[in-house]
Amino acid sequence: MIKLILLRHGQSQWNLENRFTGWCDADLTEQGVSEAKKAGHLIKKKNIIFNFAFTSFQMRAIKTLSNLMEELDKPIKNITKAWQLNERHYGALQGLNKAEMAKKHGEKQIMIWRRSYDTPPPPLDNKDPNHPKNMEIYSSINPNNIPDTESLKDTFDRSVPYFKSYVEPILKSEQNILIAAHGNSLRAICKYLFKISDEMIVKLEIPTGNPIEIDLDKSLKILNYSYMDSKRAKEIYFNR
């Protein structure tokens, strides 16, 4: 049986402050570090061994993976950082408080930007110093591939092709994989894996620091799935 573990990073400082984070590099809170370590402990209890792990370019996901690995008996030898696994780009909303933006634009509009499948927020100005095109960490990426804003569909269109090209071949070789990423990049991957409809994906919530354990057969058919911390589990909406 093949194991795929999907893990949203632990609580970040901007999660705590109720801000739109997107591609901004918010750090983990103490609670976020604790969540990452607990995720590692839960994985260790199941005696799951990984040779491969994937994460994003963003500090909160990278640190989540690092803190998780400190809890494991065996190191993960092959770790890949991929910008395609980054959080959804929230455009001009990045860094702003969600409640304040709801007062400014209206709760209905904010919910459309946050939860609709294919409506992105207003774009971030390319000249903004916080635009990823102006950050050294993304200097090796073709600027045409770096978004100014994204809907969940846009996030799906970069995360899922990456998953198919780089993750699935390893799974098909019957090796376990851990992915430490973000709420929306993981929502996109879950949409693909669980065949979640455009209408239902807007309801999917992935809690921070709670590993989703997925059992796959050799053809990558899902046999079983569950959150490791059942007390913090959420509905996945698997369309069998």
* pLDDT tens-place string over residues 109-119: 998 898 889 99
Can you tell me the distance from the alpha carbon of 76 to that of 189, in angstroms, rounded to the nearest whole number? 22
* pLDDT tens-place string over residues 201-240: 989 999 999 999 999 999 999 999 999 999 999 999 998 8
In this prediction, residue 42 carries a pLDDT of 96
In this prediction, residue 117 carries a pLDDT of 94
Question: Higher model confidence: residue 12 or residue 111?
Answer: 12
Which 8-state DSSP code applies to residue 94? T
Can you tell me the distance from the alpha carbon of 49 to that of 89, in angstroms, rounded to the nearest whole number? 32
Mean pLDDT computed over every residue of the chain:
95
Q: Where are the domains of the chain?
A: 2-89+163-232
Q: Is the pLDDT of residue 15 over 90?
A: yes
Assign 73 a pLDDT band (cuts: 50, 70, 90): confident
- Residues acting as catalytic residues: 9, 87
DSSP string, 134-201: GSGGGTTS-GGGS-S---HHHHHHHHHHHIIIIIHHHHHTT--EEEEE-HHHHHHHHHHHTT--HHHH
Q: Is the pTM of this model over 0.85?
A: yes
For the residues 47-72, what does the mean pLDDT come to? 96
Q: For 10-37, b where at least 16 C-beta lie within 10 A, e where not — what string?
A: bbbebbeeebbbbbbbbebbeebbebbb
To which CATH superfamily is domain 2-89+163-232 assigned? Phosphoglycerate mutase-like (3.40.50.1240)
In this prediction, residue 198 carries a pLDDT of 94
